[in-house]
Chain A
Amino acid sequence: MADYDVIVIGAGPGGYVAAIRAAQLGLKTACVEKWIDADSKPVYGGVCLNVGCIPSKALLDSSHKYHEASHAFDFHGIKVGKVEIDVPAMIDRKQKVVKQLTGGIAGLFRSNKVEGISGTGKLLKDRKVEVTDKDGKKQTLSADNIILAAGSVPIEIPPTPLDGDTIVDSTGALEFQAVPKRLGVIGAGVIGLELGSVWSRLGSEVVVLEAMDTFLPMIDQQIAKEAMKILTKQGLDIRLGAKVTGSELKKGKAKGVKVTFEDKDGKKEESFDKMIVCVGRKPQTEGLLSDDCGVKRDQRGFIEVDDHCGTGVPGVYAIGDIVRGPMLAHKASEEGVMVAENIAGHKASMNYGLIPSVIYTHPEIAAVGKTEEQLKADGVEYNVGVFPFAASGRALAANDADGMVKMLADARTDRVLGCHIIGPSAADLAQTVVVAMEFSTSAEDIGMTVFSHPALCEAVHEAALAVNGHAIHIANRKKK
């Protein structure tokens, strides 16, 4: 008789959701988490809650308000004196939000009767898990099912070794106690742009060094171009094709780092007070798998799984950032639910084709489905509908009218294949389209749905009408 029906290793958005769902379905569930706080209490929520999604959004909101107050209130006729930012207070507030949420998960574990086990989990063979606590004490637990949800860690690159103070990763970037005068960001991906935005709004001179020649290659390029324009206008100095070759820490009074890099014009260098290295994340499988556990990894270190997150080893599943697919919290969570339900005997599946993704800059960027580039590459004939927020009454009233909604639909069947938004509340706007796409919506269906006025979501409605050439609030492009 196994100790548990389910043991989940990792209490991040993948693990804790899987554990809660499993417990809801009546399975005896334990969740192993190695993270502890200064008081040796277990910390749930993983990277997402503690040093990722949540804290970054808290800082993005704080810095956005500061920026509005300093630069945009005037436009409304609001007169404020000199606006100041108390960075430690801002960081403190962020910490409070995080604490509330991680405490919330502990509460959910209790109410759902998930047993939280503090320690590092390691998968052994024959459905056993070895848990090593903070003092090194080991125990072996057995379970009918084991879900690996150990998450990911930031990738480090040799030219810029982290020192935790001047050269930091995303975690460090959420803890600065003062606004760096000059901030270097390596990697113009989602994390780099978000963190760069935070400190840029607060007054940093931010230079983003991106090794690739394309900006945000995975998103629709029309949106990417617009994003580049807007972010550059906001003050981010984004350098594409810039490969970092080395760094030199400077100690003493002029503390900082000198970075050398190469672009198409040759060798360059820049100096920064602080530098954030955010070039991507890799699956965290060190110490997770015993040599004989039977679970396979691919050449990039991701655990190999099938469409239902089964590893091939009976009773062993893996979800979230340690397996293939977009490294997104909501993807991990849904995989967790799918696995828990399948363990309980349901027939659960996931629609990997309709996972939305968001970049929380301002304006926000959100996308679901195929980009125009992907459709071209697949040889699919499509129609496009674009509606700029500049034509949205609500956006203008809010003085927040940068960006557009772009909708792509199959030319023959009108089925919506993708929706890409840059603008206010992009994530929430795009989500309505995600739901509709789950029901195989056509652009016309969205066009026939009544949308509230005056609301930002009308832009989605108009973009859908524009797909078929009859938007009301903009001139329609003649269809080819």
Chain B
Amino acid sequence: MTIEIKAPTLPESVPDGTIATWYKKPGESVSRDELLVDIETDKVVLEVVAPADGVLQEIKKGEGDTIVSSEVLAVFEEGAISKEPVKSEAAAAAAAAVPAEDDEDKSDEAVLMSPAARKLVEENRLDPEQITSTGKDGRITKEDVINHMKAPAVKPQPAVAAAPPPAAPKPAPAPIIAPAGPRAEERVPMTRLRAKVAERLLQATQTTAMLTTFNEVDMSAVMELRNKYKDAFEKQHDGTRLGFMSFFVRASVEALKRFPAVNASIDGNDIIYHGYQDVGVAVSSDRGLVVPVLRDADAMSLADIEKSIRDYGLKARDGKLSIEEMTGGTFTISNGGVFGSLLSTPILNPPQTAILGMHKIQERPMAVNGEVKVLPMMYLALSYDHRMIDGKEAVQFLVTIKDLLEDPARIFLEV
């Protein structure tokens, strides 16, 4: 129902008043008792509040207009819902964990922060939603931000494989919705993790003399072995499936034993030769790529390796990988093939000096003894730190892996 908003009855000594400030616009929804307008008189400023929930329809007296006692100032519609268009972008953005749209608006509405807290959050690209707030009314204080930054969030040695965006076991951000509209842009601050990973990747490329050497391997022998024994393997090893990774790990370990430089790390001006092989295996989960480490891989059987990788995969999916499980590692194997990569140049995982990239197995026509045969081929890539590893060593290391995989008995025989 329509209500007339009237000026209050002015006291006898006050002939008229002036509209000082309108706090609501026509079309804006208002709740009961919310301040609508200030009226200035000689003696005092009078406030006029909304009589009920509803919408301010029409303002009849604007700012600066003179009004007299009980004059009609505006028309108010009780109970009406505001006809303001609901910004669909804002709605979508609100769902995302990462502040989208105009992130300043979102932070102001959603999360109260003290000025210094806001500064810290922006400088460190934090997500205010992740910070425990202890201030009045849920405000985030500077202290809260400092405490949040001190507590080690589960940050793995960030996966530095080429493929998907390396995210930590963290609740996966909702898919970023590309800004709508013609040539629209969206400025989104990096999450702390991404910023950290970016830092590490940059460090890897800038501080190492990274090169990549390539080779290719005929996977038919391994595939034959798999097909022949996979059922028996599963039966023997409590349902653990026989994959390719175990072969690659074992081949790598053999090769690492023969080329210690590839298993070493650089620490300042020192080279640390490790007497063990801790092989990091890039594991994909729907949370992203993580690199848990198989410790003392040399002592692990194929079944052990497959089982560990499977367990790590499950843990990664559930975000349950511990920091210990993801640190260390003397060598890393990354498999871009699962996503369809044919060939790539994996990036080093410092302080490791080499990383093996596995790719998609693709049938290709190959020349074998003068004949064309279609073989299941996989390109292999070895990125290495040339400060540590000579070209010759790198090439030979990769050739060794190829040879071992093309004739798996050699792994067994250690030749």
Residues of chain B in range 81-121 having any CB-CB distance to chain A below 8 Å? 114-117, 119
In whole Å, how far is A37's beta carbon from the nearest beta carbon of chain B? 35
B131-170: contact bitstring with A at CB < 8 Å (1 yes, 0 no)? 0001110010111001100000000000000000000000
**A442 adjacent to B119 (CB under 8 Å):** no
**A444 adjacent to B139 (CB under 8 Å):** no
User: A212 contacts the other chain (Cβ, under 8 Å)?
Assistant: no
Residues of A within 8 A of B114 (CB): 439-442, 445
Residues of chain B in range 343-393 having any CB-CB distance to chain A below 8 Å? none
Q: With contacts A413-B143, A415-B143 known, what are 6 further pairs, Cβ within 8 A?
A: A413-B142, A439-B114, A439-B139, A440-B139, A441-B114, A441-B141
How many residues of B are counted as interface, with CB atoms below 8 angstroms from the partner's CB atoms?
A: 14
**B115 adjacent to A415 (CB under 8 Å):** no
**B116 adjacent to A440 (CB under 8 Å):** no
Residues of B within 8 A of A445 (CB): 114-117, 142
Counted as pairs of residues, one from A and one from B, with CB atoms less than 8 Å apart, the total is: 48
- Point out the residue from A410, A412, A438, A444 that lies within 8 Å of B116, measured CB to CB: A444
In whole Å, how far is B109's beta carbon from the nearest beta carbon of chain A? 19
In whole Å, how far is A441's beta carbon from the nearest beta carbon of chain B? 7
User: A218 contacts the other chain (Cβ, under 8 Å)?
Assistant: no
If A413-B142, A414-B142, A445-B142 touch, whether A440 touches B147 (CB-CB below 8 Å) is: no
How many residues of A are counted as interface, with CB atoms below 8 angstroms from the partner's CB atoms?
A: 15
User: A449 contacts the other chain (Cβ, under 8 Å)?
Assistant: yes
Residues of B within 8 A of A448 (CB): 115-116, 119
**A415 adjacent to B142 (CB under 8 Å):** yes
**A439 adjacent to B135 (CB under 8 Å):** yes
Distance between Cα atoms of A445 and B143 in the complex (Å): 11
If A439-B136, A440-B134 touch, whether A413 touches B116 (CB-CB below 8 Å) is: no
Residues of B within 8 A of A440 (CB): 114, 134-136, 139, 141, 143
**A415 adjacent to B116 (CB under 8 Å):** no
Residues of B within 8 A of A438 (CB): 136
Residues of B within 8 A of A414 (CB): 116, 142-143, 146
In whole Å, how far is B3's beta carbon from the nearest beta carbon of chain A? 29
Residues of chain A in range 420-462 having any CB-CB distance to chain B below 8 Å? 438-442, 444-445, 447-449
In whole Å, how far is B117's beta carbon from the nearest beta carbon of chain A? 8
A77-105: contact bitstring with B at CB < 8 Å (1 yes, 0 no)? 00000000000000000000000000000
In whole Å, how far is B118's beta carbon from the nearest beta carbon of chain A? 9
Distance between Cα atoms of A47 and B128 in the complex (Å): 50
Distance between Cα atoms of A348 and B143 in the complex (Å): 26
Q: Which of B116, B136, B141, B147 has the most CB of A within 10 A?
A: B116
In whole Å, how far is B112's beta carbon from the nearest beta carbon of chain A? 10
Which 8 A-B pairs have CB atoms at the shortest separation, nearest pair first?
Answer: A413-B143, A442-B142, A444-B116, A448-B115, A440-B141, A440-B135, A445-B116, A445-B114
| Chain B residue nearest in CB terms to A441 | B114
| Chain B residue nearest in CB terms to A442 | B142
**A442 adjacent to B136 (CB under 8 Å):** no
| Chain A residue nearest in CB terms to B112 | A439
Q: Determine chain B's interface SS by DSSP, over half rule.
A: helix
**B119 adjacent to A415 (CB under 8 Å):** no
In whole Å, how far is A467's beta carbon from the nearest beta carbon of chain B? 12
Residues of A within 8 A of B141 (CB): 415, 439-442
Residues of B within 8 A of A410 (CB): 143
Distance between Cα atoms of A410 and B116 in the complex (Å): 14
Which residues from chain A sit less than 8 Å from chain B, CB to CB? Answer: 410, 412-415, 438-442, 444-445, 447-449
Which residues from chain B sit less than 8 Å from chain A, CB to CB? Answer: 114-117, 119, 134-136, 139, 141-143, 146-147
Subset of 6 A-B contacts with CB under 8 Å: A413-B143, A413-B146, A415-B141, A415-B143, A445-B114, A445-B115
Distance between Cα atoms of A438 and B135 in the complex (Å): 9
In whole Å, how far is B332's beta carbon from the nearest beta carbon of chain A? 37
Distance between Cα atoms of A413 and B116 in the complex (Å): 11
**B135 adjacent to A412 (CB under 8 Å):** no
Distance between Cα atoms of A347 and B267 in the complex (Å): 60
Q: Which of A440, A441, A444 has the most CB of B within 10 A?
A: A440
| Chain B residue nearest in CB terms to A412 | B146
If A413-B142, A413-B143, A415-B143 touch, whether A442 touches B116 (CB-CB below 8 Å) is: yes
In whole Å, how far is B128's beta carbon from the nearest beta carbon of chain A? 16
Distance between Cα atoms of A438 and B136 in the complex (Å): 8
Residues of B within 8 A of A449 (CB): 115
Residues of A within 8 A of B146 (CB): 412-414
Residues of B within 8 A of A447 (CB): 116
Distance between Cα atoms of A371 and B116 in the complex (Å): 24
In whole Å, how far is A287's beta carbon from the nearest beta carbon of chain B? 42
In whole Å, how far is B354's beta carbon from the nearest beta carbon of chain A? 41
Distance between Cα atoms of A414 and B136 in the complex (Å): 17
Residues of A within 8 A of B116 (CB): 414, 442, 444-445, 447-448
In whole Å, how far is B20's beta carbon from the nearest beta carbon of chain A? 23
Distance between Cα atoms of A414 and B141 in the complex (Å): 10
In whole Å, how far is A450's beta carbon from the nearest beta carbon of chain B? 10
Distance between Cα atoms of A86 and B157 in the complex (Å): 82
Distance between Cα atoms of A439 and B115 in the complex (Å): 12
In whole Å, how far is A208's beta carbon from the nearest beta carbon of chain B? 42
Distance between Cα atoms of A440 and B142 in the complex (Å): 9
Distance between Cα atoms of A449 and B142 in the complex (Å): 14
**B142 adjacent to A444 (CB under 8 Å):** yes
Distance between Cα atoms of A412 and B139 in the complex (Å): 19
| Chain A residue nearest in CB terms to B113 | A445
Distance between Cα atoms of A138 and B292 in the complex (Å): 85
In whole Å, how far is B377's beta carbon from the nearest beta carbon of chain A? 58
| Chain A residue nearest in CB terms to B146 | A413
Distance between Cα atoms of A385 and B115 in the complex (Å): 19
Residues of A within 8 A of B142 (CB): 413-415, 442, 444-445
Q: Which of A413, A415, A449 has the most CB of B within 10 A?
A: A413
In whole Å, how far is A469's beta carbon from the nearest beta carbon of chain B? 15
| Chain A residue nearest in CB terms to B137 | A439
Residues of A within 8 A of B115 (CB): 444-445, 448-449
In whole Å, how far is A235's beta carbon from the nearest beta carbon of chain B? 44
Residues of B within 8 A of A415 (CB): 141-143
Residues of A within 8 A of B117 (CB): 442, 445
| Chain A residue nearest in CB terms to B136 | A439
| Chain B residue nearest in CB terms to A448 | B115
In whole Å, how far is A187's beta carbon from the nearest beta carbon of chain B? 39
**A442 adjacent to B139 (CB under 8 Å):** no
Distance between Cα atoms of A209 and B45 in the complex (Å): 54
Residues of A within 8 A of B134 (CB): 440
| Chain B residue nearest in CB terms to A413 | B143
| Chain A residue nearest in CB terms to B135 | A440
**A442 adjacent to B135 (CB under 8 Å):** no
Q: Which of B117, B139, B141 has the most CB of A within 10 A?
A: B141
In whole Å, how far is A64's beta carbon from the nearest beta carbon of chain B? 34
In whole Å, how far is B113's beta carbon from the nearest beta carbon of chain A? 10
Distance between Cα atoms of A449 and B118 in the complex (Å): 13
In whole Å, how far is A172's beta carbon from the nearest beta carbon of chain B? 44
Distance between Cα atoms of A469 and B143 in the complex (Å): 18
Residues of A within 8 A of B135 (CB): 439-440
Distance between Cα atoms of A410 and B139 in the complex (Å): 19
Distance between Cα atoms of A241 and B114 in the complex (Å): 47
Distance between Cα atoms of A442 and B139 in the complex (Å): 13
Distance between Cα atoms of A296 and B218 in the complex (Å): 92
Distance between Cα atoms of A412 and B147 in the complex (Å): 9
